[in-house]
Amino acid sequence: MKKTGRQIVTFDWAIKTILRDKANFDVLEGFLTALFGRAVVILDMLESESNRQDDRDKYNRVDLLAKTEDGERIIVEVQYLSEMAYLKRLTYGTAKTMVETLKLGEPYANLKKVYSISLLYFDVTEDGDDYIYHGKTEFTGLHTHHPVTLKKSLVGEPVRIGETNIFPEYYLIPLKRFTDVVRDDLDQWVYAFKNNEVLDEFTAPGIGALKEKFDYLRMDERERRRFDKHIDYVRSEWGMIEDARQDGLEVGLARGREEGLEEGLAKGREEERRILVKSLYDNGIAIETIATSVGLSEPAIRRLLDDMSDL
Q: What is the residue type of 121?
A: Y
The span from the CA of 260 to the CA of 252, in Å, is 12
Predicted local confidence at residue 50, as pLDDT:
46
Asked if 166 and 153 count as a contact pair (C-beta separation under 8 A), the reply is no
**With contact defined as beta carbons under 8 Å apart, do 266 and 298 qualify?**
no
pLDDT of residue 58: 45
Rounded distance between C-alpha atoms, residue 286 and residue 280, angstroms: 8
Q: Whose CA is closest to 5, among 239, 233, 168, 208?
A: 208
Residue 13: the pLDDT is: 81
DSSP 93-128: HHHHHHHHTSPTT--GGG---EEEEEEESS---SS-
CA angle 140, 146, 150 (to 5 degrees): 55
- Among 127, 130, 136, 209, smallest CA distance to 173 is for 130
pLDDT tens digits, one per residue of 47-100 = 654 444 444 444 456 688 899 888 889 999 888 777 767 888 889 989 999 888
Our measurement of the distance from residue 276's CA atom to the centroid of its chain's CA atoms, rounded to an integer in Å, reads: 23
Per-residue confidence (pLDDT) for residue 230, from 0 to 100: 65
Measured in whole angstroms, the distance separating CA 198 from the mean position of its chain's CA atoms is 21
Amino acid at 187: D
The whole-angstrom separation of Cα 49 and Cα 51 is 6
Helix-, strand-, coil-residue percentages of the chain, each rounded to 5: 50, 15, 35
Contacts 24+ apart (CB under 8 A), 183-190: 184/34, 185/34, 186/34, 186/35, 186/132, 188/34, 189/30, 189/31, 189/34, 189/35, 190/131, 190/132
Residue-level pLDDT at 190: 95
Q: Which amino acid is at 86?
A: Y
Averaged pLDDT, groups of 10, the chain, 311 residues long: 76 80 89 92 73 44 82 87 79 90 84 91 88 91 89 68 77 94 96 92 92 78 72 59 54 53 54 72 74 77 78 52
Alpha-carbon separation of residue 22 from 25, 45, 119, 121 (angstroms): 5, 8, 22, 27
Provide the residue ranges of all domains of the chain, joining segments of one domain with +.
Answer: 5-218, 221-309
Q: Residue 183 has what pLDDT?
A: 95
pLDDT digits (tens, 9 = 90+) for 165-182: 788 999 999 999 999 999
Rg (CA), the chain: 22
Contacts (Cβ under 8 Å, ≥6 apart) of 183: none
Sequential DSSP letters for 55-104: TTS--SEEEEEEEETTS-EEEEEEE-S--TTHHHHHHHHHHHHHHHTSPT
DSSP state of 24: G
